[in-house]
Amino acid sequence: MSVDSPAGAGNVAAAQGAGRVRPLGRPRRSGGGGGGIRGREGIAGWIFTTPVIVLIVMFLAVPILMALWVSFSNWTGIGSPFSGDVKFVGVRNYKFLLGEDGLSRQNLMQSLRNNFYYVLLVVPLQTSLALFLAVIVSRRRLVGRGFFRTAFYFPSVTSSVAIVIIFQFLFSGSGAINAIISALGKHGPDWLSEQQGLVHVVLDRLGVHTAPAWLANHYVLGQSWWEWLAGPSGAMVVLILLAVWTTAGTFMLLFVAALQNIPSEIEEAAITDGASSWQRFRMITLPMLRPTLLLVLTLGLISTWQTFDAQYLLGGALANPSIVTPAYLSYTTSFSNQQWGQGAAISFILFVIIIVLAAFQRWVLRDRDDELLKRQERRQAKEMRAARKASA
C-alpha cells in the first residue's frame, strides 16, 4: 500500500498519533520499567566482577596507598605504619633523595643512570629481535616452524635463577667467553666486575684520559655530565644481553599473532604490483603492526625500568655498583638499611618516571591519521550544530 494513498496516509497518521516511532537498532525493554533483560545483565555482571574487584582493592590498591603513606612518614619497619609513633614528615624523604647532597641522592642518581642505559639498549634490541624472529617463523615455507617457535620462546619460560647462573659461568673471569677470546690471542676482562662505562673505555682507548672541564664541572642532581654520559658498564652489558635473550621470545609470540591477522590478499596485491620484500615489509607490514608494536614497546619500557632479579642474584651494590637499579635500591634501602620512608619514596619516583615515559612513548607513536579523522568529525559535528541553531 502506498503512503500517498488515503489509506496509507491514515495509517502513518495513526502511528504518529499513537506515539513516537522507535529508532531502528534500539532494542525494546521488557516490562516497561527500568529493569528487564539489560537490568538483569547489569546485576549479574556486578555479581561476577565483585570478587575480582575486592581482590584488586585488597591486594593492589590498599598496599599502594599504604606504601604512599610510608613514603610521607618516618616509619622504621617496626610495628604498624599507622601506629601513633609513626609521624607524618611530608616530602622530607623525597627532598632528601632529590634535593640534598649526600649518599642517598648519589646512589639514586647512579641507579637512574644505570637503568637509563639499560632501558635505552634493551627495549630497541629486544623489540627488533622479536620482530625479526616473528617474521622468520611466520614464513609458510619454513620447515619445522613449531620447533623454532618453541626454541625461541624457551628462554622466556626458563627460571631466571638458572639463566643468571649460566651467564655467570659464561662471563666470569675464567668463563667460556674469555676462553674463546684467549683462543683468539686476546685477554678478556672480568665482565661482571667491570664498573667503568663503555663510553669512558672507548675514550680512554682514543687517548682521552681526563674529563673535559665543561663536562666535569657541571652537575645535574649531584652527578657531573661526565658521569651521566659514561654509558653502561661491562657488567651492565652482560645484563642487557641476558634481558634481550630472555624476553625476545615472549614478544615474538605477540608479533606472530599480529602477522597472522594481516590479510594475505594485501600482500598478494603488493606482489602483483611489483613491490619487493623490503617494500612490502616497510609499507604494509610495519604500519599494520603499529598497535602490537606500541604494546611491545610499552611492556618493554615498564619491565626494564622494574628490573630487579638479576641484580639481586648477582649481589647488587656489594658486587658492582654499576648494575644497581632503582628497584633494587628501593629494596636495599628498605630491607637492609631500614629506611622504609626513603625506600617507598624511591619506588614512587620510579613509578612517576615510568608513567611519564610511557605517556611520552604513546604520544610519539600515536596514529596521526586517526587523530586527523577525529578532528574532522568533531569539526563536522560542530558545523552541523551551528547550522541547526541558525535554522531554528
153 pLDDT band, cuts 50/70/90, is very high
Residue 6 has pLDDT above 50, yes or no: no
Burial environment of residue 252 by CB neighbours within 10 A (0 to 12, 13 to 18, 19 or more) = buried
The pLDDT score that the predictor gives to residue 130 is 96
Q: Which three cell numbers stand for residue 274?
A: 611489483
The predicted-structure confidence for 227-239, as pLDDT tens digits, reads as follows 888 899 999 999 9
CB 231 within 8 A of CB 121: no
b vs e for 351-387, b when ≥16 Cβ sit within 10 Å of the residue's Cβ? bebbeeebeebeeeeeeeeeeeeeeeeeeeeeeeeee
Give the mean pLDDT of the chain. Answer: 85
20 pLDDT band, cuts 50/70/90, is very low
371 pLDDT band, cuts 50/70/90, is low
What CATH code would you report for 113-197+232-322+350-366?
A: 1.10.3720.10
Residue 14 has pLDDT above 60, yes or no: no
The pLDDT score that the predictor gives to residue 369 is 63
Q: What are the backbone dihedrals phi and psi of residue 20, each rounded to the nearest 5 degrees, phi first?
A: -70, 145
Q: Within 10 Å of residue 39's Cβ, how many Cβ atoms? A: 14
Helices (H), the chain: 6-18, 36-56, 62-71, 92-98, 103-137, 145-153, 160-171, 176-183, 198-205, 213-216, 225-228, 234-260, 264-272, 277-280, 286-288, 290-305, 309-313, 326-331, 340-364, 368-391
Residue 223 in 3-state DSSP?
Answer: strand
The pLDDT score that the predictor gives to residue 204 is 86
**Among candidate residues 320, 315, 319, the one with its CA nearest the CA of residue 331:** 315
**Among candidate residues 304, 306, 298, the one with its CA nearest the CA of residue 360:** 298
340 pLDDT band, cuts 50/70/90, is very high
Residue 9 has pLDDT above 80, yes or no: no
Residue 275 has pLDDT above 90, yes or no: no
Beta bridge partners of 319: none
Q: pLDDT: is 372 or 195 the higher one?
A: 195
CB 65 within 8 A of CB 81: no
19 pLDDT band, cuts 50/70/90, is very low
Mean pLDDT of 79-92: 90
Long-range contacts formed by 325-329: CB under 8 A, 24+ apart: 325/111, 325/114, 325/115, 325/118, 326/108, 326/111, 326/112, 326/115, 326/350, 326/353, 328/111, 329/107, 329/108, 329/111
Long-range contacts formed by 167-176: CB under 8 A, 24+ apart: 167/238, 167/241, 167/242, 168/192, 168/314, 171/238
Burial environment of residue 97 by CB neighbours within 10 A (0 to 12, 13 to 18, 19 or more) = buried
**Among candidate residues 322, 305, 301, the one with its CA nearest the CA of residue 114:** 322
**Alpha-carbon span 300 to 315, nearest angstrom:** 24
Range with lowest mean pLDDT among 1-5, 139-143, 233-237, 349-353: 1-5
Range with lowest mean pLDDT among 176-190, 243-257, 323-337: 176-190
List the chain domain ranges: 113-197+232-322+350-366
**Among candidate residues 253, 233, 204, 191, the one with its CA nearest the CA of residue 325:** 233
The pLDDT score that the predictor gives to residue 36 is 55
* Report for 125-134, 203-212, 373-382: range of highest mean pLDDT: 125-134
* Report for 331-335, 366-370, 386-390: range of highest mean pLDDT: 331-335
Q: Within 10 Å of residue 307's Cβ, how many Cβ atoms? A: 22
The pLDDT score that the predictor gives to residue 22 is 45
**Alpha-carbon span 187 to 138, nearest angstrom:** 41
Beta bridge partners of 223: 220
